[in-house]
Structure 1
Amino acid sequence: MSRALPSLTALKVFEVAGRLRSFSKAAAEMNITQGAVSRQIRALEDELRVRLFVRLTRQVQLSPAGEKYLAEVQAAFRTLEQATAKVREQRTRSILTISVLPSVGSFWLMPRLARFSQRHPEIETRVISSIEPVNLHGGEVDVAIRVGALPGRRYDVDVPRVDLTMMVDWRGVLAEELAPDTLVPVFSPSLTDDPRAVSEPAVIQQLPLIHTTSRPHAWPDWMRACGLAPTNAPRTLEYGHFFMSMEAARQREGVAIVPDILLSGSASQGLVAATGCKVRSAGEYYLLSLNERCNERAISTFRDWAQQEMTKHAPGRAADGLPAPSS
């Protein structure tokens, strides 16, 4: 359907002339002749069948109709400018979809992500929480943070296993190490009358142990690495994710064993870490992306930021930020 609209050029000339209250000044601002301004205004008046300006000897004034029309035209131009700015912003704005392990997302990524967004407003982040192997070839995820062992990488048989698969398909995947996976026991200081005693693996083994479903071998493997015989006690305390196990530890249900990457900031409140009982596992935390996309601005920007954040809050020292058993 055709619209009965005047020429956009004529409207722009009218807006400038009306705002400046001068044909000559309008000509100077628009870099055209004063005659061209006069012709555009006359053509607009003829089309509208109304006089927009009152021509005086040495100046022009807006007519009452011109005053009202100018306000409407300026409002319309503002709307067009705002719409254009939004389109340009959408064109330059990137959407980055990040797949992250639930507890790492809750305790490491999300408390920091607002700072990333403030620093890089041109990148919109979308976070997917999952422990499932990630498929970067499907187009639904741009980068992922996972924990595990790279294909072909070997570890000592005595170190704790990581019972998670990182990738569906490793072809063309760039894996950049963020941090080692180090397990540390954590507990509420009111769990025992003598928190100092809970710095010895043999003492920890005798306390109620909180297990995490996603890492079923964490406690038995930790005990083996500490030279202890794994206990055969039934798992009466078991939770689906580390953040659940940590909350159970806060509630004095027992001792949880968690990766020290999670132990920073508010995540550690109400917990004491047995920092002398940390054991590195057979895996690391990796930032995963496709080689063919690794230099895309949003991906490379997030990669650099994540590596810097991990360096500032190095997991090897994160658990040391928790209170140690008091002497």
Structure 2
Amino acid sequence: MSLTSKRVSPNGLRVFESAARHLSFTAAAQELRSTQSAVSQQVRGLEEQLGLRLFDRVYRGVRLTEPGQALFASVQEGFATIDRTIDRLQQRHRNPRLTILTDFSMASYWLLPRLPRFRHEHPHIDVRIMTNQGVFDWRGQEVDIAIMLGDRRGQEGVPRLLDEEVFPVCSPGFLNEYGPILDLARLSELPLLTLTADQGQSWLDWPGYFERLGGRVHQAPSELIFNNYPLLVQAAIAGQGVALGWRGLVDDLVERGMLVGLEALSLSTPNSYGVIDVQPDDRTPAKQAFQDWLLSG
């Protein structure tokens, strides 16, 4: 049954939402550029229309009743849906926008350095980048494409951007002080820079690295631990230890001499960065152009 048939004023719902959000008729009046008495009258009229008490009047404010809480949740959800719909409709008359979700390292060291070329080729497409260092979860988010690292054996049909190949990296100064670093035995004795994977992330860590190559566990007395890969890389450049470097992400830093890659100790894994179309039913020229550009190298 429609609001019209129930004779519930949409403006009354707007006033109710503001009052419920602030738990104050006075604050709602200030937000709506109205008066406290007008807000109180609107709420009272809504309560009479519904035959329900939505607020308990308490000292210096109001408190939602159980029906009020239920209505508040529904009204907020409805207004959010309306706002998203309006935004999508207006977006059709502006530049198309793509939202890309990836992790900090991919965004910092692969995507951002290449993005100017895409923007030069497609100046009419707006790109929004969201980063998440934890486990990827795009549910409930306005995301078009996710670039994520995962086991490619479980990503059938997902285009692969970069296969995971890792090798230790350190600064030239660190190598001069502690080198040569020719084998796992020597590596295990050195200060290591660690990227946490405590949220179930799939990237390779030091214990997994040593295990896959059959080396002994890390023997150094301490290590630096980060939850952000760009910060870890900066620590490696500053000579604070050895980090794991990802092929395709740290190559430019190695070529510029900021890091030295110990590529004789490299390791390939079954993981790869895949390009996931989060909304495959929403096919737009902008999204297709971005996917084609990503996979063209």
Same-fold status (TM-score > 0.5):
yes
What does 1:1-327 correspond to in 2, within 5 Å? 91=93, 93-136=95-138, 138=140, 140-150=142-152, 152=154, 175-193=158-176, 197-214=180-197, 218-231=205-218, 233=220, 235-266=222-253, 269=256, 270-290=258-278, 292-293=280-281, 295-309=283-297
1:142 corresponds to which letter in structure 2?
D
Flag the 1:135–1:298 CA change in 2: closer, same or farther, 3 A. Answer: farther
* Deviation for aligned residue 1:218: 1.2
Flag the 1:230–1:281 CA change in 2: closer, same or farther, 3 A. Answer: same
Conservation of the 8 A alpha-carbon contact between 2:144 and 2:279: no
Flag the 1:178–1:234 CA change in 2: closer, same or farther, 3 A. Answer: same
Conservation of the 8 A alpha-carbon contact between 1:187 and 1:256: yes
* Deviation for aligned residue 1:236: 2.9
Conservation of the 8 A alpha-carbon contact between 2:191 and 2:220: no
CA distance in 2, matches of 1:268, 1:235: 29
For the pair shown, the structure with the greater C-alpha radius of gyration is 1
CA distance in 2, matches of 1:293, 1:111: 30
Conservation of the 8 A alpha-carbon contact between 1:211 and 1:245: yes
Specify the alignment match of 1:55 in structure 2: none
1:140 corresponds to which letter in structure 2?
E
* Deviation for aligned residue 1:291: 6.2
Q: Secondary structure at the match of 2:176?
A: coil
Flag the 1:96–1:152 CA change in 2: closer, same or farther, 3 A. Answer: closer
Conservation of the 8 A alpha-carbon contact between 1:210 and 1:256: yes
* Deviation for aligned residue 1:137: 5.1
CA distance in 2, matches of 1:299, 1:213: 32
* Deviation for aligned residue 1:308: 1.5
Which residues of structure 1 form unaligned runs of 5+? 1-87, 154-172, 310-327
Conservation of the 8 A alpha-carbon contact between 2:184 and 2:216: no
* Deviation for aligned residue 1:192: 3.6
State the aligned residue count.
204
Conservation of the 8 A alpha-carbon contact between 1:135 and 1:141: no
* Deviation for aligned residue 1:234: 5.3
Q: Secondary structure at the match of 1:237?
A: strand
CA distance in 1, matches of 2:101, 2:279: 17
- Residue deviations 1:51-72, cap 9 Å, x none? xxxxxxxxxxxxxxxxxxxxxx
* Deviation for aligned residue 1:213: 1.3
TM-score of the superposition, structure 1-length normalised?
0.55
CA distance in 2, matches of 1:194, 1:253: 11
CA distance in 1, matches of 2:176, 2:135: 42
Specify the alignment match of 1:56 in structure 2: none
Q: Secondary structure at the match of 1:147?
A: strand
Q: Secondary structure at the match of 1:183?
A: strand
Aligned-residue identity in percent: 26
CA distance in 2, matches of 1:296, 1:90: 11
CA distance in 2, matches of 1:193, 1:263: 20
Conservation of the 8 A alpha-carbon contact between 1:148 and 1:284: yes
* Deviation for aligned residue 1:285: 0.5
Flag the 1:287–1:267 CA change in 2: closer, same or farther, 3 A. Answer: farther
Conservation of the 8 A alpha-carbon contact between 2:153 and 2:270: no
TM-score of the superposition, structure 2-length normalised?
0.60
- Residue deviations 1:178-216, cap 9 Å, x none? 111111100011114377622322222221111111368
Specify the alignment match of 2:40 in structure 1: none
Flag the 1:150–1:138 CA change in 2: closer, same or farther, 3 A. Answer: farther
Specify the alignment match of 1:58 in structure 2: none
Conservation of the 8 A alpha-carbon contact between 2:188 and 2:219: no
